[in-house]
Structure 1
Amino acid sequence: MSDVTDTSLPAQSPPVERTETAKVDAPAKLSWWRGDGGEGAKRNLGLLAVLVVLVVIGILTRPDLYGDPNWVWGNTLTIGKLASVVGVVTVGMTFVIIGGGIDLSVGAIVALAGVWCTTVATQSYGAGGMIFTALTVGLAVGVVNGLLVSYGRLVPFIATLAMLVAARGLAAEISDKQTQVSGNTFINGIASTNVLGIPLLVYILVAVVAAGWVLLNRTTFGRRTVAVGGNPEAARLAGINVRRHTVLLYALSGLCCGIAAVMLTAQATSAEAAMANLYELDAIAAAIIGGTLLSGGRGTIIGSLLGVIIFSTITNLFAINNLSAEAQNMVKGGIIVAAVLVQQVQFGSLTQLLARNRATTTT
């Protein structure tokens, strides 16, 4: 009798274990595509779909131009050059927003760095002196922004708005409200040089984006950025120096502005206090379109790059159809509002889904 009882026990055990395992694994199988992991992939696919729609609109509105392969290739390179400068600025902006901040002074920093590096005194040091000055000015102003926000405890909106006004004013003072011409052939050649048929400006953008992607996704700095933006208090309790990290984020944004200043100066072969006007809005809009949360803690470099390309394509589309800049700005404004609304709905749905998955796993 005892033998029969002992034999039946092992036969009943495996089904129970398989059922329990299935309950635990089910939420994990749904979590990548339907949850946090797949959210970025779906968003990027959506942005690519928007690009395809814009190209189709271009083909339908200007079939005479899109019927010429040479024009299509040249126009693609034009869009790449148009996106290059704003794209570099957007990389720095993305880090700041993911970290829970905002930087309204990026356009003014580009102008200040451009004006400072094209002064007669700076140009006398050659291309190296001009590039070093632009990067140093951008980095220094970014550090000041970070110090005001982190140690001065100013609201990022107010601190960077004040810097926007101050930097524009200083740029106008240095240039005496005049356009400063760049006489350096190396600097000017950055915008006109092509490597394998592709503008050097596009290569610079790709290099900055690649560096930003690695920094955000493969380093401790990137993980700390997400932690600080998601929950600063929790990050502090986890041992992260939130103030110092905030300074580093704004310094990174300023450094990107310094790089963009060199690129923009090369394109215009000059610099003035009014250059890079509204770049801050373009950078913020591109980051939002790319899925970066204004509240911080979430965002991708690739998404921000796609956002820049979308806006550059829209600008190009309006230009080839001879439409007004006012209409273009209205369309861009509508896209920004729509992106924020979609973002709020998606984030709310994602939060509810993750909560349900955690509850199922616990059960």
Structure 2
Amino acid sequence: MSEPETAVVGRATPSPGAQHEPSRTPDLDADGGGLAHLLRTAAGRNLGLVVALLILCVAGVVTGGDRFADGANVLTILRLAAVIGVVSVGLTFVITGGGIDLSVGAIVALSSVWCTTLATQTIANETTWLVMVFAALAVGAGCGLVNGVLVAYGRIVPFIATLAMLAGARGLAEIISNRRTQIVNVPAFVGVLDADVLGIPVLVILFAAVAAIGWVVLNRTTFGRRTVAVGGNPEAARLAGIRVQRHTMYLYVLLGVCCGIAALMLVARTTTGSSTHGTLYELDAIAAVVIGGTLLSGGRGTIVGTVLGVLIFTTLSNVFTLNNLSISAQSVVKGLIIVAAVLLQQRLAARKT
């Protein structure tokens, strides 16, 4: 599933008196070659990511053998990808809109702690497990609203505003939980979210649903077109009648809701709520979004690319784990991949202009 390009290139009509030149086929070696031209298209970028994922899978089979190819291991990869994937889908909207959010991991932690407090779980057992769902989504949306107001109306740089939220949300999660892991004692909650449907984990189905909805919203709705416009040129978007500040606020609220959903998925998978949940999620999510093809400068986003980026990084971590390689080595490789992706984006953008 490829995503449409936002730019439309027009062709000039030759004047009647103009001298006609013989038609020529495009020179594939010009302007970086046919490969560079292909990588500038959405289909080309996604194809490159699919090839990279296939190469990782081959490496996993070669180095890990049956351990990597085992069905249980594949489901493990998908479960791990599902949680960070939901966060990454929300972050794609924020980055496409010209922003950034460093607090997603802390928001996930705070949402997980709040929805697993003794009071919340008591009410959930007495009424319905949906109380926990509401608590997590409300906390996530609330944190996103604070970020959005600070960035859009307070005119605080997104890096600083979300950095403050990172510290504040993580600290509040530690205060509420008293730095203790909170065990989930609501069987109905775990029974629904940690179940399988036709052999497919509900967490994976949720991730697929969020990604599908995100793709439709970004590519087939006015909200998505406005997001691209705001990220590409805020002043032009304002002159076109878009309420840039309000739309920016909505983007952060949307990301906060995605963090709340991710917190619920993490709580269901681990049956715990903890202030340590979501550690370094902001780096993993940004990495997945960037390698997927979304521009850090805003104005272009791709949900399909983000999903592929999440799968690439999750598979990479799984291959490293199966081969007993350290977390530090994984971090180094991830850092190199991020730098390479950004450099490639800049190179292609320079050639396009």
Shorter-chain TM-score: what band? 0.7 to 0.9
Amino acid at match of 1:46: G
1:111 match: 109
| Matched residue type, 2:97 | G
Which residue number in structure 1 is paired with residue 100 of structure 2? 102
1:282-335 CA distance string (max 9 Å, x none): 000000000011100011000001000000000110111111111111111111
Equivalent residue in structure 2 for 1:124, among 97, 122, 137:
122
Aligned-pair CA distance for 1:268: 1.0
Per the alignment, residue 315 of structure 2 pairs with: 313
Task: Report the Cα offset of residue 65 of structure 1.
Answer: 3.2
1:153 alignment partner, SS class? coil
Please say if 1:247 is aligned against 2:249. Answer: yes
Note if contact 2:95-2:298 (Cα within 8 Å) is conserved in structure 1. yes
AA matched with 2:179: K
- 1:10-39 Cα distance to aligned partner (Å, 9 max, x none): xxxxxx69987998xx9xxxxxx9869961
Which residue of 296, 299, 313 corresponds with 1:297?
299
* CA distance in 2: counterparts of 1:340 and 1:181, whole angstroms: 41
Of 206, 215, 220, the residue aligned with 1:204 is 206
Question: Hey, what does 1:347 align to over in structure 2?
Answer: 349
Instruction: Give 1:187 shift.
Output: 2.1
Q: Which residue of the partner structure matches residue 229 of structure 1?
A: 231
Are residues 22 and 267 of structure 1, via their aligned partners in 2, closer, same or farther at CA, if it must alter by over 3 Å? farther
Alignment of 1:140-179 (within 5 A): 140-179=142-181
- Structure 1 or 2: more helix by fraction: 1
Q: Partner of 2:71 in structure 1?
A: 73
Give the share of equivalent positions with the same residue, in percent.
59
Instruction: For residue 266 of structure 1, report the CA deviation from its aligned partner.
Output: 0.7
Distance 1:130 1:19 in 2: 72
Q: 1:22 to 1:155 in 2, by over 3 A?
A: farther
* Distance verdict in 2 for CA 1:260–1:20, change over 3 Å: farther
Amino acid at match of 1:55: C
Structure 1 residues 174 and 58: CA distance shift in structure 2, 3 A: same
Q: Using the alignment, how far apart are the partners of 1:244 and 1:20 within structure 2?
A: 51
SS at match of 1:95: helix
Structure 2: how far apart are the matches of 1:82 and 1:142?
Answer: 23
Summarize the Cα distance change of 1:17–1:200 in structure 2 as closer, same or farther, 3 Å threshold: farther
Question: Which is higher, the Rg of structure 1 or of structure 2?
Answer: 1
Q: Contact (CA 8 Å) 2:39, 2:45: kept in 1 or not?
A: no
Structure 2, unmatched stretches of 5+, are 1-15, 27-34
Alpha-carbon distance in 1 for matches of 2:159, 2:108: 18
Asked whether the 8 Å contact 2:38–2:45 carries over to 1, the reply is: no
Shift of 1:192: 3.3
Q: For residue 41 of structure 2, give the secondary structure of its aligned residue in structure 1.
A: helix
CA distance in 2, matches of 1:96, 1:281: 15
How far is 1:52 from its partner?
1.0
Distance in 1 (CA, whole Å) between partners of 2:36 and 2:293 is: 16
Change in CA separation of 1:21 and 1:303 when aligned onto 2, cut-off 3 Å: farther
In 1, the alpha carbon distance for the partners of 2:211 and 2:168 equals 29
User: 1:144, CA displacement in angstroms?
Assistant: 0.6
- The DSSP-based 3-state class of the residue aligned with 1:56 is helix
Note closer, same or farther for the CA distance 1:19–1:327 as it changes in structure 2 (3 Å cut): same
What amino acid maps onto 2:290 in structure 1? Answer: I
CA contact (8 A) 2:40 2:348 kept: no
- Is the 2:113–2:177 Cα contact (8 Å) retained in structure 1? yes
Residue 125 of structure 1 deviates from its aligned partner by 2.3
CA distance in 2, matches of 1:219, 1:22: 42
Q: 1:207 to 1:18 in 2, by over 3 A?
A: farther
**Runs of 5+ unmatched residues, structure 1:** 1-15, 27-32, 352-363
Aligned to 2:86: 88
User: Displacement, 1:62?
Assistant: 2.4
Distance across 2 between alignment mates of 1:282 and 1:208: 18
Residues 111-146 of structure 1: per-residue CA shift (max 9 Å, x gap): 111100101111122111100010011001101100
In structure 2, the partner of 1:361 is none
In 2 relative to 1, CA 235–57 (structure 1 residues): closer, same or farther, beyond 3 Å? same
In structure 2, what is the equivalent of residue 330 of structure 1? 332
Q: Which is further off, 338-347 or 158-167?
A: 338-347
Question: Any idea what SS the aligned residue of 1:125 has?
Answer: helix
- CA deviations over 1:219-256 (Å, ceiling 9, x no partner): 00000000000000000011100000000000000000
| Aligned residues: CA RMSD | 2.5
**Aligned pairs, number:** 329
The amino acid across from 2:310 in the alignment is V
